[in-house]
Amino acid sequence: MSLPSDFLWGFATAAYQIEGSADVDGRGPSIWDTFCAIPGKIADGSSGAVACDSYKRTKEDIDLLKSLGAKAYRFSISWSRVIPLGGRNDPVNQKGLDHYVKFVDDLLEAGITPFITLFHWDLPDALDKRYGGFLNKEEFTADFENYARVLFKAIPKCKHWITFNEPWCTSILGYNSGYFAPGHTSDRTRSAVGDSARECWIVGHNILIAHGKAVKVYREEFKPVNGGEIGITLNGDAVLPWDPEDPADVEACDRKIEFAISWFADPIYFGKYPDSMLKQLGDRLPTFTPEEVALVKGSNDFYGMNHYTANYIKHKTGTPPDDDFLGNLETLFYSKSGECIGPETQSFWLRPHAQGFRDLLNWLSKRYGYPKIYVTENGTSLKGENDMSLEQIVEDDFRVKYFDDYVHAMAKAFSEDGVNVRGYLAWSLMDNFEWAEGYETRFGVTYVDYENDQKRYPKKSAKAMKPLFESLIKKE
Protein backbone atom coordinates (compact mmCIF):
# COMPACT_ATOMS: atom_id res chain seq x y z
CA MET A 1 0.00 0.00 0.00
CA SER A 2 1.48 3.33 -1.06
CA LEU A 3 0.98 6.77 -2.59
CA PRO A 4 2.89 8.19 -5.59
CA SER A 5 6.25 9.91 -5.03
CA ASP A 6 4.92 13.29 -6.19
CA PHE A 7 1.85 13.13 -3.92
CA LEU A 8 0.99 16.52 -2.40
CA TRP A 9 -0.32 16.67 1.16
CA GLY A 10 -1.07 19.53 3.49
CA PHE A 11 -3.93 21.46 5.02
CA ALA A 12 -6.89 23.61 3.99
CA THR A 13 -8.71 26.72 5.25
CA ALA A 14 -11.17 29.33 3.93
CA ALA A 15 -10.95 33.13 4.02
CA TYR A 16 -14.06 33.99 6.01
CA GLN A 17 -13.32 31.26 8.56
CA ILE A 18 -9.80 32.40 9.48
CA GLU A 19 -8.86 35.85 8.16
CA GLY A 20 -10.75 38.28 10.39
CA SER A 21 -9.88 41.92 9.59
CA ALA A 22 -13.38 42.21 8.13
CA ASP A 23 -13.14 45.98 7.59
CA VAL A 24 -9.36 46.37 7.25
CA ASP A 25 -7.50 47.64 4.14
CA GLY A 26 -10.65 48.32 2.14
CA ARG A 27 -12.40 44.96 2.38
CA GLY A 28 -16.15 45.19 1.69
CA PRO A 29 -18.81 43.10 3.45
CA SER A 30 -19.75 39.64 2.18
CA ILE A 31 -23.11 37.91 2.51
CA TRP A 32 -21.68 36.11 5.56
CA ASP A 33 -20.96 39.39 7.36
CA THR A 34 -24.59 40.35 6.74
CA PHE A 35 -25.97 36.92 7.68
CA CYS A 36 -24.00 36.77 10.94
CA ALA A 37 -25.53 40.09 12.01
CA ILE A 38 -29.05 38.54 12.00
CA PRO A 39 -29.90 37.31 15.52
CA GLY A 40 -30.27 33.53 15.79
CA LYS A 41 -28.49 32.59 12.57
CA ILE A 42 -25.15 31.61 14.21
CA ALA A 43 -25.20 29.19 17.16
CA ASP A 44 -23.11 31.34 19.50
CA GLY A 45 -24.05 34.70 17.97
CA SER A 46 -20.53 35.12 16.61
CA SER A 47 -19.08 36.07 13.21
CA GLY A 48 -15.86 35.95 11.22
CA ALA A 49 -15.01 39.57 12.09
CA VAL A 50 -11.87 38.48 13.99
CA ALA A 51 -11.81 34.68 13.56
CA CYS A 52 -8.19 33.44 13.74
CA ASP A 53 -6.76 36.86 12.81
CA SER A 54 -4.92 35.18 9.92
CA TYR A 55 -4.99 38.24 7.67
CA LYS A 56 -2.46 39.77 10.07
CA ARG A 57 -0.61 36.53 10.80
CA THR A 58 0.41 35.12 7.44
CA LYS A 59 4.02 34.61 8.60
CA GLU A 60 2.84 32.75 11.68
CA ASP A 61 0.56 30.52 9.58
CA ILE A 62 3.35 29.74 7.11
CA ASP A 63 5.76 28.96 9.97
CA LEU A 64 3.11 26.59 11.35
CA LEU A 65 2.73 24.85 7.96
CA LYS A 66 6.52 24.49 7.69
CA SER A 67 6.83 23.09 11.21
CA LEU A 68 4.25 20.40 10.36
CA GLY A 69 6.05 19.43 7.14
CA ALA A 70 3.14 20.39 4.85
CA LYS A 71 3.86 20.25 1.12
CA ALA A 72 0.69 22.14 0.09
CA TYR A 73 -1.80 24.64 1.46
CA ARG A 74 -5.29 25.28 0.18
CA PHE A 75 -6.79 28.66 1.05
CA SER A 76 -9.49 30.85 -0.43
CA ILE A 77 -9.56 34.45 -1.59
CA SER A 78 -12.05 36.90 -0.12
CA TRP A 79 -13.75 38.30 -3.24
CA SER A 80 -14.86 41.41 -1.35
CA ARG A 81 -11.29 42.02 -0.19
CA VAL A 82 -10.14 42.15 -3.82
CA ILE A 83 -13.22 43.85 -5.37
CA PRO A 84 -15.15 45.30 -2.40
CA LEU A 85 -18.35 45.84 -4.42
CA GLY A 86 -17.77 42.67 -6.43
CA GLY A 87 -18.73 43.74 -9.93
CA ARG A 88 -16.84 43.84 -13.21
CA ASN A 89 -17.17 47.64 -13.39
CA ASP A 90 -16.28 48.17 -9.72
CA PRO A 91 -12.78 49.19 -8.60
CA VAL A 92 -10.16 46.62 -7.61
CA ASN A 93 -8.80 47.09 -4.09
CA GLN A 94 -5.03 46.96 -4.67
CA LYS A 95 -4.21 46.48 -0.97
CA GLY A 96 -6.37 43.39 -0.82
CA LEU A 97 -4.93 41.98 -4.02
CA ASP A 98 -1.34 42.70 -2.91
CA HIS A 99 -1.97 40.76 0.30
CA TYR A 100 -2.67 37.55 -1.62
CA VAL A 101 0.15 38.09 -4.13
CA LYS A 102 2.65 38.37 -1.26
CA PHE A 103 1.11 35.42 0.57
CA VAL A 104 1.63 33.18 -2.47
CA ASP A 105 5.21 34.44 -2.86
CA ASP A 106 5.88 33.65 0.82
CA LEU A 107 4.33 30.17 0.59
CA LEU A 108 6.45 29.32 -2.45
CA GLU A 109 9.57 30.63 -0.73
CA ALA A 110 8.77 28.29 2.17
CA GLY A 111 8.51 25.35 -0.26
CA ILE A 112 4.73 25.05 0.08
CA THR A 113 2.52 24.61 -3.01
CA PRO A 114 -0.52 26.94 -3.01
CA PHE A 115 -3.99 25.72 -3.98
CA ILE A 116 -6.23 28.77 -4.39
CA THR A 117 -10.01 28.57 -4.10
CA LEU A 118 -11.59 31.55 -5.83
CA PHE A 119 -14.92 31.22 -4.06
CA HIS A 120 -15.62 29.67 -0.66
CA TRP A 121 -19.17 30.92 0.03
CA ASP A 122 -18.42 34.61 0.77
CA LEU A 123 -20.14 36.49 -2.07
CA PRO A 124 -19.69 40.29 -1.93
CA ASP A 125 -22.85 41.55 -0.24
CA ALA A 126 -23.13 44.38 -2.79
CA LEU A 127 -23.84 41.84 -5.56
CA ASP A 128 -26.57 40.16 -3.53
CA LYS A 129 -28.20 43.55 -2.96
CA ARG A 130 -27.58 44.83 -6.50
CA TYR A 131 -29.13 42.02 -8.53
CA GLY A 132 -29.84 39.01 -6.31
CA GLY A 133 -26.38 37.48 -6.48
CA PHE A 134 -26.36 33.87 -7.67
CA LEU A 135 -29.97 34.05 -8.87
CA ASN A 136 -29.04 36.38 -11.76
CA LYS A 137 -27.28 34.29 -14.39
CA GLU A 138 -26.11 37.04 -16.72
CA GLU A 139 -24.78 39.40 -14.07
CA PHE A 140 -23.32 36.88 -11.64
CA THR A 141 -21.47 34.78 -14.22
CA ALA A 142 -20.00 37.90 -15.87
CA ASP A 143 -18.86 39.29 -12.52
CA PHE A 144 -17.31 35.98 -11.46
CA GLU A 145 -15.50 35.70 -14.80
CA ASN A 146 -14.03 39.16 -14.26
CA TYR A 147 -13.04 38.39 -10.66
CA ALA A 148 -11.33 35.16 -11.76
CA ARG A 149 -9.42 37.00 -14.49
CA VAL A 150 -8.16 39.60 -11.98
CA LEU A 151 -6.74 36.81 -9.80
CA PHE A 152 -5.24 34.73 -12.63
CA LYS A 153 -3.47 37.85 -13.89
CA ALA A 154 -2.20 38.93 -10.47
CA ILE A 155 -0.97 35.50 -9.30
CA PRO A 156 0.64 33.67 -12.24
CA LYS A 157 2.81 31.70 -9.79
CA CYS A 158 -0.18 29.70 -8.53
CA LYS A 159 -0.53 26.50 -10.58
CA HIS A 160 -3.56 24.93 -8.85
CA TRP A 161 -6.88 26.79 -9.01
CA ILE A 162 -10.31 25.81 -7.67
CA THR A 163 -13.25 27.83 -8.96
CA PHE A 164 -15.96 27.02 -6.40
CA ASN A 165 -15.97 25.21 -3.09
CA GLU A 166 -18.96 22.93 -2.56
CA PRO A 167 -21.65 24.53 -4.76
CA TRP A 168 -24.11 22.08 -3.17
CA CYS A 169 -23.78 24.01 0.11
CA THR A 170 -24.21 27.41 -1.52
CA SER A 171 -27.30 26.15 -3.36
CA ILE A 172 -29.04 23.95 -0.81
CA LEU A 173 -28.00 25.51 2.51
CA GLY A 174 -28.18 29.04 1.10
CA TYR A 175 -31.38 28.75 -1.00
CA ASN A 176 -33.36 25.73 0.20
CA SER A 177 -32.96 25.12 3.95
CA GLY A 178 -31.74 28.69 4.60
CA TYR A 179 -29.18 27.38 7.10
CA PHE A 180 -26.32 29.32 5.41
CA ALA A 181 -26.02 32.81 3.91
CA PRO A 182 -27.97 34.42 2.35
CA GLY A 183 -30.59 32.34 4.16
CA HIS A 184 -33.33 31.99 1.52
CA THR A 185 -36.02 29.41 2.28
CA SER A 186 -39.75 28.90 1.81
CA ASP A 187 -40.09 28.68 5.61
CA ARG A 188 -41.48 32.15 6.36
CA THR A 189 -40.70 31.79 10.06
CA ARG A 190 -37.03 31.86 9.06
CA SER A 191 -36.88 34.08 5.98
CA ALA A 192 -39.04 36.68 4.27
CA VAL A 193 -37.69 35.58 0.88
CA GLY A 194 -36.99 32.33 -0.89
CA ASP A 195 -38.55 29.49 -2.86
CA SER A 196 -37.01 26.22 -1.67
CA ALA A 197 -38.55 24.28 -4.56
CA ARG A 198 -36.81 26.30 -7.28
CA GLU A 199 -34.12 28.75 -6.23
CA CYS A 200 -31.52 26.15 -5.21
CA TRP A 201 -31.57 24.53 -8.68
CA ILE A 202 -31.23 27.93 -10.38
CA VAL A 203 -28.26 28.81 -8.17
CA GLY A 204 -26.54 25.49 -8.86
CA HIS A 205 -27.02 25.98 -12.60
CA ASN A 206 -25.62 29.51 -12.52
CA ILE A 207 -22.58 28.40 -10.52
CA LEU A 208 -21.84 25.78 -13.21
CA ILE A 209 -21.99 28.46 -15.91
CA ALA A 210 -19.73 30.76 -13.88
CA HIS A 211 -17.29 27.89 -13.33
CA GLY A 212 -17.24 27.17 -17.07
CA LYS A 213 -16.57 30.83 -17.88
CA ALA A 214 -13.67 31.06 -15.42
CA VAL A 215 -12.11 27.85 -16.76
CA LYS A 216 -12.41 29.13 -20.35
CA VAL A 217 -10.61 32.36 -19.37
CA TYR A 218 -7.86 30.40 -17.61
CA ARG A 219 -7.32 27.97 -20.46
CA GLU A 220 -7.38 30.59 -23.22
CA GLU A 221 -5.61 33.54 -21.60
CA PHE A 222 -3.31 32.16 -18.88
CA LYS A 223 -2.59 28.43 -19.14
CA PRO A 224 -0.67 28.69 -22.45
CA VAL A 225 1.88 30.96 -20.72
CA ASN A 226 1.72 29.93 -17.05
CA GLY A 227 0.79 26.26 -17.23
CA GLY A 228 -1.15 25.05 -14.24
CA GLU A 229 -4.55 23.41 -13.79
CA ILE A 230 -8.07 24.32 -12.76
CA GLY A 231 -11.11 22.45 -11.42
CA ILE A 232 -14.05 22.58 -9.06
CA THR A 233 -14.43 21.09 -5.56
CA LEU A 234 -17.57 19.05 -4.86
CA ASN A 235 -18.75 17.59 -1.58
CA GLY A 236 -20.53 14.32 -0.97
CA ASP A 237 -20.94 11.56 1.59
CA ALA A 238 -20.42 7.83 1.28
CA VAL A 239 -23.52 5.63 1.12
CA LEU A 240 -24.55 2.16 2.30
CA PRO A 241 -28.02 0.63 1.79
CA TRP A 242 -30.15 0.59 4.96
CA ASP A 243 -31.33 -2.86 3.86
CA PRO A 244 -28.79 -4.44 1.49
CA GLU A 245 -31.43 -7.04 0.51
CA ASP A 246 -33.81 -4.33 -0.75
CA PRO A 247 -33.05 -3.31 -4.38
CA ALA A 248 -34.86 0.02 -3.78
CA ASP A 249 -32.37 0.93 -1.01
CA VAL A 250 -29.43 -0.10 -3.19
CA GLU A 251 -30.78 2.06 -6.02
CA ALA A 252 -31.39 4.96 -3.62
CA CYS A 253 -27.68 4.91 -2.71
CA ASP A 254 -26.71 5.89 -6.26
CA ARG A 255 -29.49 8.48 -6.33
CA LYS A 256 -28.18 10.07 -3.12
CA ILE A 257 -24.71 10.58 -4.71
CA GLU A 258 -26.30 11.81 -7.93
CA PHE A 259 -28.34 14.50 -6.13
CA ALA A 260 -25.27 15.60 -4.12
CA ILE A 261 -22.31 15.23 -6.47
CA SER A 262 -23.43 14.29 -9.98
CA TRP A 263 -25.73 17.34 -9.99
CA PHE A 264 -22.49 19.26 -10.72
CA ALA A 265 -20.12 16.56 -11.95
CA ASP A 266 -22.37 15.08 -14.66
CA PRO A 267 -22.71 18.40 -16.56
CA ILE A 268 -18.91 18.84 -16.31
CA TYR A 269 -18.08 15.31 -17.49
CA PHE A 270 -21.14 14.43 -19.63
CA GLY A 271 -22.82 17.73 -20.50
CA LYS A 272 -26.15 16.91 -18.82
CA TYR A 273 -27.87 16.54 -15.46
CA PRO A 274 -28.40 13.03 -14.01
CA ASP A 275 -31.54 11.23 -15.17
CA SER A 276 -32.67 10.71 -11.55
CA MET A 277 -32.76 14.48 -11.02
CA LEU A 278 -34.51 15.19 -14.32
CA LYS A 279 -37.13 12.58 -13.43
CA GLN A 280 -37.89 13.99 -9.97
CA LEU A 281 -37.47 17.73 -10.57
CA GLY A 282 -38.80 18.13 -14.12
CA ASP A 283 -38.91 21.73 -15.29
CA ARG A 284 -37.65 23.01 -11.93
CA LEU A 285 -34.18 21.97 -13.09
CA PRO A 286 -32.89 24.60 -15.55
CA THR A 287 -31.89 23.47 -19.05
CA PHE A 288 -28.50 24.10 -20.61
CA THR A 289 -28.35 25.97 -23.90
CA PRO A 290 -25.99 24.40 -26.48
CA GLU A 291 -23.52 27.22 -25.71
CA GLU A 292 -23.67 26.42 -22.00
CA VAL A 293 -23.10 22.72 -22.63
CA ALA A 294 -20.00 23.60 -24.66
CA LEU A 295 -18.80 25.87 -21.86
CA VAL A 296 -19.32 23.43 -18.98
CA LYS A 297 -18.58 20.02 -20.51
CA GLY A 298 -14.91 19.12 -20.08
CA SER A 299 -14.21 22.03 -17.72
CA ASN A 300 -12.22 20.08 -15.11
CA ASP A 301 -8.46 19.48 -15.21
CA PHE A 302 -8.88 17.63 -11.92
CA TYR A 303 -11.69 16.61 -9.58
CA GLY A 304 -11.65 18.35 -6.19
CA MET A 305 -13.18 16.05 -3.57
CA ASN A 306 -14.41 17.16 -0.14
CA HIS A 307 -15.46 14.23 2.02
CA TYR A 308 -16.15 13.63 5.71
CA THR A 309 -18.82 11.06 6.52
CA ALA A 310 -21.21 8.25 5.48
CA ASN A 311 -24.88 7.34 5.83
CA TYR A 312 -27.19 4.39 5.52
CA ILE A 313 -29.71 5.17 2.79
CA LYS A 314 -33.36 4.16 2.99
CA HIS A 315 -35.63 4.79 0.01
CA LYS A 316 -38.96 6.56 0.37
CA THR A 317 -42.15 5.83 -1.57
CA GLY A 318 -44.72 8.28 -2.87
CA THR A 319 -44.27 11.73 -4.33
CA PRO A 320 -41.46 13.72 -2.69
CA PRO A 321 -42.28 17.21 -1.37
CA ASP A 322 -41.31 20.13 -3.61
CA ASP A 323 -38.45 21.16 -1.30
CA ASP A 324 -36.84 17.68 -1.28
CA PHE A 325 -33.19 17.84 -2.33
CA LEU A 326 -31.98 14.37 -1.31
CA GLY A 327 -33.74 12.32 -4.00
CA ASN A 328 -36.74 10.91 -2.10
CA LEU A 329 -34.79 9.03 0.55
CA GLU A 330 -33.72 9.10 4.19
CA THR A 331 -30.16 9.33 5.54
CA LEU A 332 -29.56 7.33 8.73
CA PHE A 333 -26.69 6.35 11.04
CA TYR A 334 -28.10 2.89 11.84
CA SER A 335 -28.84 0.08 9.39
CA LYS A 336 -31.88 -2.19 9.39
CA SER A 337 -29.92 -4.76 11.39
CA GLY A 338 -28.94 -2.14 13.97
CA GLU A 339 -25.33 -1.55 12.91
CA CYS A 340 -23.99 1.94 13.61
CA ILE A 341 -22.05 3.65 10.81
CA GLY A 342 -19.52 5.27 13.14
CA PRO A 343 -18.92 7.09 16.43
CA GLU A 344 -20.49 10.45 17.31
CA THR A 345 -18.63 13.71 16.76
CA GLN A 346 -19.45 17.31 17.68
CA SER A 347 -21.08 17.72 14.25
CA PHE A 348 -24.61 16.27 14.08
CA TRP A 349 -24.01 15.21 10.45
CA LEU A 350 -20.58 13.60 10.80
CA ARG A 351 -19.73 9.97 11.71
CA PRO A 352 -16.34 8.50 10.72
CA HIS A 353 -16.51 5.52 8.33
CA ALA A 354 -13.21 5.24 6.45
CA GLN A 355 -14.23 2.37 4.15
CA GLY A 356 -16.90 4.69 2.74
CA PHE A 357 -14.14 7.05 1.61
CA ARG A 358 -12.49 4.29 -0.41
CA ASP A 359 -15.87 3.21 -1.81
CA LEU A 360 -16.75 6.76 -2.90
CA LEU A 361 -13.31 7.29 -4.49
CA ASN A 362 -14.03 4.18 -6.55
CA TRP A 363 -17.60 5.21 -7.41
CA LEU A 364 -16.45 8.61 -8.68
CA SER A 365 -13.50 7.15 -10.57
CA LYS A 366 -15.62 4.59 -12.39
CA ARG A 367 -18.34 7.09 -13.29
CA TYR A 368 -16.01 9.86 -14.48
CA GLY A 369 -13.29 7.90 -16.25
CA TYR A 370 -10.63 7.84 -13.51
CA PRO A 371 -9.87 11.58 -13.38
CA LYS A 372 -7.01 13.04 -11.38
CA ILE A 373 -8.44 13.58 -7.88
CA TYR A 374 -7.28 15.98 -5.21
CA VAL A 375 -8.91 15.41 -1.83
CA THR A 376 -9.36 19.09 -1.01
CA GLU A 377 -10.99 18.58 2.42
CA ASN A 378 -11.22 15.70 4.88
CA GLY A 379 -11.36 15.84 8.65
CA THR A 380 -13.49 15.60 11.77
CA SER A 381 -14.76 17.43 14.80
CA LEU A 382 -14.51 15.76 18.19
CA LYS A 383 -17.41 15.48 20.59
CA GLY A 384 -17.15 17.95 23.47
CA GLU A 385 -13.78 19.26 22.35
CA ASN A 386 -14.70 22.89 22.99
CA ASP A 387 -15.41 22.10 26.67
CA MET A 388 -12.06 20.39 27.34
CA SER A 389 -8.92 21.84 28.88
CA LEU A 390 -6.03 22.80 26.60
CA GLU A 391 -4.11 19.75 27.86
CA GLN A 392 -6.99 17.48 26.80
CA ILE A 393 -7.58 19.25 23.48
CA VAL A 394 -4.03 18.83 22.19
CA GLU A 395 -4.23 15.07 22.88
CA ASP A 396 -6.80 14.56 20.11
CA ASP A 397 -6.38 10.81 19.61
CA PHE A 398 -9.85 10.55 18.03
CA ARG A 399 -8.76 12.89 15.22
CA VAL A 400 -5.39 11.11 14.87
CA LYS A 401 -7.25 7.83 14.31
CA TYR A 402 -9.68 9.46 11.86
CA PHE A 403 -6.84 10.75 9.66
CA ASP A 404 -4.92 7.48 9.95
CA ASP A 405 -7.94 5.41 8.90
CA TYR A 406 -8.99 7.74 6.08
CA VAL A 407 -5.52 8.25 4.61
CA HIS A 408 -4.90 4.49 4.63
CA ALA A 409 -8.28 3.94 2.90
CA MET A 410 -7.21 6.49 0.26
CA ALA A 411 -3.81 4.80 -0.19
CA LYS A 412 -5.58 1.46 -0.76
CA ALA A 413 -7.84 3.10 -3.34
CA PHE A 414 -4.71 4.32 -5.16
CA SER A 415 -2.50 1.24 -4.92
CA GLU A 416 -5.12 -1.54 -5.09
CA ASP A 417 -8.07 -0.02 -6.99
CA GLY A 418 -6.34 2.21 -9.55
CA VAL A 419 -7.90 5.45 -8.29
CA ASN A 420 -5.81 8.40 -9.54
CA VAL A 421 -5.64 10.38 -6.29
CA ARG A 422 -2.71 12.85 -6.28
CA GLY A 423 -3.17 15.08 -3.28
CA TYR A 424 -4.77 15.35 0.17
CA LEU A 425 -5.53 18.54 2.11
CA ALA A 426 -6.74 17.97 5.66
CA TRP A 427 -9.50 20.14 7.09
CA SER A 428 -8.41 22.18 8.82
CA LEU A 429 -5.04 23.76 9.57
CA MET A 430 -6.59 25.39 12.63
CA ASP A 431 -9.80 25.72 14.60
CA ASN A 432 -11.90 28.45 13.02
CA PHE A 433 -15.32 30.02 12.48
CA GLU A 434 -17.45 27.00 11.68
CA TRP A 435 -20.20 28.84 9.78
CA ALA A 436 -23.65 28.41 11.40
CA GLU A 437 -22.03 26.52 14.30
CA GLY A 438 -19.87 29.55 15.16
CA TYR A 439 -16.88 28.74 17.39
CA GLU A 440 -18.59 25.90 19.26
CA THR A 441 -17.21 23.27 16.88
CA ARG A 442 -13.50 22.74 16.26
CA PHE A 443 -12.07 21.02 13.17
CA GLY A 444 -8.46 22.16 13.44
CA VAL A 445 -5.28 20.15 13.88
CA THR A 446 -4.12 23.31 15.69
CA TYR A 447 -5.96 24.68 18.72
CA VAL A 448 -6.77 28.39 18.52
CA ASP A 449 -7.25 30.15 21.86
CA TYR A 450 -9.86 32.74 20.87
CA GLU A 451 -9.89 34.25 24.36
CA ASN A 452 -6.14 34.88 24.48
CA ASP A 453 -5.00 36.67 21.33
CA GLN A 454 -5.74 33.77 18.96
CA LYS A 455 -2.64 31.86 20.10
CA ARG A 456 -2.02 28.62 18.19
CA TYR A 457 -1.17 25.25 19.78
CA PRO A 458 -0.58 22.29 17.43
CA LYS A 459 -2.53 19.19 18.51
CA LYS A 460 -1.29 15.61 18.33
CA SER A 461 -3.10 15.23 14.98
CA ALA A 462 -1.01 18.07 13.50
CA LYS A 463 2.23 16.31 14.39
CA ALA A 464 1.02 12.89 13.23
CA MET A 465 0.48 13.98 9.62
CA LYS A 466 4.09 14.07 8.43
CA PRO A 467 5.06 10.57 9.67
CA LEU A 468 1.75 9.22 8.33
CA PHE A 469 2.42 10.45 4.78
CA GLU A 470 6.15 9.62 4.92
CA SER A 471 5.18 6.03 5.67
CA LEU A 472 2.97 5.87 2.55
CA ILE A 473 4.57 8.07 -0.14
CA LYS A 474 6.99 6.19 -2.39
CA LYS A 475 10.58 7.37 -2.25
CA GLU A 476 11.87 8.49 -5.65
Catalytic residue among 199, 292, 377, 385: 377
Instruction: Find the farthest-apart pair of alpha carbons in the chain and give their distance in angstroms, rounded.
Output: 60
319 contact partners, CB below 8 Å, separation of at least 6: none
- What confidence score (pLDDT) does residue 319 get? 97
- What confidence score (pLDDT) does residue 1 get? 87
What DSSP character marks residue 259?
Answer: I
105 contact partners, CB below 8 Å, separation of at least 6: 157
**Boundaries of every domain in the chain:** 8-470
Calculated CA dihedral for residues 40, 46, 48, 53, nearest 10 degrees: 180
Catalytic residue among 19, 139, 145, 166: 166
Rounded Cα–Cα distance for residues 405 and 397 (Å):
12
Task: Check if 377 is active-site.
Answer: yes
Where would I find the H helices in 271-386?
Answer: 275-281, 290-296, 354-367
What DSSP character marks residue 474?
Answer: P
11 contact partners, CB below 8 Å, separation of at least 6: 65, 68, 70, 73, 74, 425, 426, 427, 428, 429, 445
- What confidence score (pLDDT) does residue 476 get? 79
Rounded Cα–Cα distance for residues 382 and 276 (Å):
35
- Pair 307, 363: CB distance under 8 Å: no
3-state helix, strand, coil in the chain (%, to 5): 45, 15, 40
Which pTM value belongs to this model? Answer: 0.98
Rounded Cα–Cα distance for residues 181 and 193 (Å):
12
Among 373, 417, 415, 396, which Cα is nearest to 465's?
396
Buried-exposed string 29-47: b where 16+ CB fall within 10 A, e elsewhere: bbbbbbbbeeeebbeeebb
Task: Check if 166 is active-site.
Answer: yes
pLDDT tens for the 476 residues of the chain, in order: 899 999 999 999 999 999 999 999 999 999 999 999 999 999 999 999 999 999 999 999 999 999 999 999 999 999 999 999 999 999 999 999 999 999 999 999 999 999 999 999 999 999 999 999 999 999 999 999 999 999 999 999 999 999 999 999 999 999 999 999 999 999 999 999 999 999 999 999 999 999 999 999 999 999 999 999 999 999 999 999 999 999 999 999 999 999 999 999 999 999 999 999 999 999 999 999 999 999 999 999 999 999 999 999 999 999 999 999 999 999 999 999 999 999 999 999 999 999 999 999 999 999 999 999 999 999 999 999 999 999 999 999 999 999 999 999 999 999 999 999 999 999 999 999 999 999 999 999 999 999 999 999 999 999 999 999 999 999 97
Could you say which of 2.30.30.790, 3.20.20.80, 1.10.10.10, 1.20.120.1760 is the CATH number of the domain covering 8-470? 3.20.20.80
CA distances from 58 to 107, 141, 205 (A): 9, 31, 35
